[in-house]
């Protein structure tokens, strides 16, 4: 979190990618258990950085009108990774007898591919304009925004200029407000009411989405399909197909829908409600037919596993990263994102450690925890989480009771005209300030 503000989003993405490559190499080439464990630790650091920084970076680069689609790509490619690992697992299952070492080393080495490509392409990735403005690198920030927002319909780059002005003024306002409280940034996230609400909301979005069941089904899919009458390589094949539907249909569909329905809350609520209903139906099928030869009942159990993903992938998976990347102001965004993703890892630890014990002790009843959680989580989303769609990151502050320095997306024509005049004056002031600090040439 500290390094993300100090060194910037781009450098942290490069660091996370480098650690992921190194960790994967240690694991795939492990000559001893200790080497493998070191690799796992390094990979954990890498993925912890990337899963936090990437959606934040994408959000800061995106227009409010396509932010759902662009930030949604984070979840799309995450599930692509799961999909690839599932197909590798299925393929290597058949190679185990002939070459046991290859069957486990090759999939571990493959995890180096994506971060290596990211690291190789990162020099051509621009730095976040919001981070640049916060560090007074104004010329570079304006150049980045102009490249991102340029359009034949906007020959004067007014969209980029408006966004630059809005970001600059909002940063000044937030810094003034923070200074007046006497708090530092790390204290303000807990002392300031609107920041505290954001921190709670971010944590609960990530925590709640994971406790709603995706990791239980994904990580214990082979056990589920085996209990539902599948044998041999079929459980691995079904698991790979399950993840393929998410990677090719549900997650891309969810990312696309965000900029059409324009509601994070309702996307998340419909997704969570669908998880509740499909998990309840899955419980009923497992309770009644698991371990039996009733092919119809077992087939319905598998059907509800796939139907679950239609709701989870479309409504929850893309939303959980998009929403938390939007709700924090620039000055605490890295802290808020880090704490939010901490919620995901807490949920992951709880779910994956308790699931095998739960399956062994109470069997299908363990899934009732998911059903009960979804029932509790739904009203929390409805009553406590504000809508953030189709607003700039700066305008979202108003939804949490904070002041907004400049409104753009909802400005009237008259307000838009006045804003253009203010921007021209503001740009003139910047040029004058830059001219006043230019070094004077030497005289001889």
pLDDT value at residue 61:
96
With CA atoms as reference, report the closest residue to 80 among 240, 204, 280, 306: 240
Whole-number Å distance between alpha carbons of 25 and 109:
6
Taking only the tens place, the pLDDT of each residue in 359-386 is: 989 989 999 999 999 999 999 999 999 9
**Model confidence band, residue 121 (pLDDT cutoffs 50, 70, 90):** very high
Instruction: Check pLDDT > 80 for residue 410.
Output: no
Tell me the C-alpha to C-alpha distance, in Å, between residue 422 and each of 69, 412, 418, 429: 32, 15, 6, 11
The pLDDT assigned to 443 comes to: 35
Q: What pLDDT sits at residue 259? A: 92
Residue 132 has pLDDT above 90, yes or no: yes
- The pLDDT, as a whole number, for residue 409 is 84
The label of the residue with tokens 């993903």 reads 309
* Structural tokens at position 58: 């994408």
- Residue pLDDT, tens place only, 241-253: 999 999 899 999 9
**All residues at 6 or more sequence positions from 20 whose CB lies less than 8 Å from its CB, including other chains:** 43, 46, 47, 50, 111, 112, 114, 115
pLDDT, tens digit, for every residue of 388-401?
999 999 999 999 99
Beta pairing partners, 151 = 154
H helices present in 193-315, as ranges: 193-211, 214-219, 221-227, 234-245, 251-261, 264-289, 295-311
pLDDT in tens, 9-49: 999 999 999 999 999 999 999 999 999 999 999 999 999 99
Pick the CATH number of 2-118+194-400 from 1.20.1250.20, 1.10.10.10, 3.50.50.60, 1.10.1040.10: 1.20.1250.20
pLDDT at 175 over 60: yes
Mean pLDDT (whole number) for 266-291: 95
Question: How large a percentage of the chain has pLDDT more than 90?
Answer: 73
Average pLDDT value for residue range 411-440? 67
Whether the predicted pLDDT of 434 surpasses 60: no
Residue 143 has pLDDT above 80, yes or no: yes
Q: What is the pLDDT of residue 222?
A: 87
Question: Closest by alpha carbon to 379, among 265, 280, 282?
Answer: 265
Q: Specify the range with the lowest mean pLDDT, choosing from 26-30, 277-281, 369-373, 406-410.
A: 406-410
Would you place residue 97 in the very low, low, confident or very high pLDDT band (cuts 50, 70, 90)?
A: confident
pLDDT band at 444 (very low <50, low <70, confident <90, very high): very low
Whether the Cβ atoms of residue 267 and residue 259 lie closer than 8 Å to each other: no
Mean pLDDT over all residues of the chain? 91
Q: Please tell me the predicted confidence (pLDDT) of residue 432.
A: 58
Every domain of the chain and the residues it spans: 2-118+194-400
Predicted confidence (pLDDT) per residue in 196-246, tens digit = 999 999 999 999 999 999 999 988 988 899 989 998 889 989 988 999 999
Residue 429, pLDDT > 70, answer: no
User: pLDDT band at residue 436, thresholds of 50, 70 and 90?
Assistant: low
Per-residue pLDDT, averaged over 277-305, amounts to 93
Q: What is the mean pLDDT of residues 112-121?
A: 96
pLDDT at 431 over 60: no
* Gap between the Cα atoms of 316 and 267, Å rounded: 7
430 pLDDT tier (thresholds 50, 70, 90): low
The predicted structure's pLDDT at residue 58: 96
What tens digit of pLDDT does each residue of 347-358 get?
999 999 999 999
Is the model's pLDDT at 441 over the cut of 50?
A: no
Q: Give tens-digit pLDDT for 309-324.
A: 999 999 999 999 999 9
Among 4-8, 16-20, 297-301, whose mean pLDDT is lowest? 4-8
């Amino acid at each position: 979190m500290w390094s993300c503000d100090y060194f910037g989003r781009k450098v942290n993405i490069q660091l996370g990618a480098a650690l992921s490559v190194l960790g994967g190499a240690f694991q795939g080439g492990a000559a001893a258990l200790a080497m493998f464990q070191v690799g796992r630790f390094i990979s954990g650091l890498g993925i912890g950085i990337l899963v936090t920084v990437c959606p934040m970076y994408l959000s800061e680069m995106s227009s409010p009108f396509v932010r759902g689609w662009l930030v949604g790509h984070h979840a799309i490619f995450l599930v692509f990774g799961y999909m690839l690992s599932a197909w590798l697992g299925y393929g290597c299952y058949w190679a185990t007898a002939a070459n046991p070492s290859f069957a486990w080393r090759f999939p571990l080495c493959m995890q180096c591919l994506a971060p290596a490509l990211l690291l190789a392409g990162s020099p051509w990735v621009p730095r976040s304009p919001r981070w640049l403005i916060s560090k007074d690198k104004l010329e570079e920030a304006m150049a980045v925004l102009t490249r991102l927002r340029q359009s034949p319909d906007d020959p004067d780059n007014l969209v980029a200029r408006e966004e630059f002005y809005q970001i600059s003024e909002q940063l000044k306002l937030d810094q003034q407000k923070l200074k007046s409280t006497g708090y530092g940034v790390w204290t303000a996230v807990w002392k300031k009411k609107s920041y505290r609400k954001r921190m709670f909301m971010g944590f609960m979005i990530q925590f709640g989405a994971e406790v709603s069941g995706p990791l239980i089904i994904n990580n214990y899919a082979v056990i589920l399909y085996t209990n539902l009458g599948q044998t041999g390589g079929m459980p691995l094949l079904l698991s790979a197909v399950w993840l393929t539907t998410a990677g090719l249909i549900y997650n891309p569909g969810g990312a696309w829908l965000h900029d059409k329905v324009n509601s994070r809350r309702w996307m998340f609520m419909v997704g969570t409600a669908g998880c509740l209903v499909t998990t309840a139906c899955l419980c009923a099928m497992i309770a009644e037919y698991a371990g039996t030869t009733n092919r119809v009942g077992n087939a319905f159990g598998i059907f509800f596993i796939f139907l679950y993903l239609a709701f989870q992938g479309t409504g929850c998976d893309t939303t959980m990263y998009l929403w938390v990347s939007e709700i924090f102001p620039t000055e605490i965004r890295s802290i808020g994102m880090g704490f939010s993703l901490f919620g995901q890892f807490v949920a992951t630890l709880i779910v994956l450690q308790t699931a095998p014990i739960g399956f062994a002790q109470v069997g299908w009843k363990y899934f009732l925890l998911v059903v009960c959680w979804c029932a509790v989580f739904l009203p929390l989303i409805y009553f406590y989480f504000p809508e953030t769609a189709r607003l700039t990151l700066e305008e979202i502050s108003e939804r949490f009771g904070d002041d907004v320095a400049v409104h753009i997306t909802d400005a009237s024509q008259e307000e838009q005209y006045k804003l253009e005049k203010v921007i021209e004056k503001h740009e003139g002031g910047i040029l004058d300030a830059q001219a006043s600090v230019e070094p004077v040439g030497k005289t001889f």
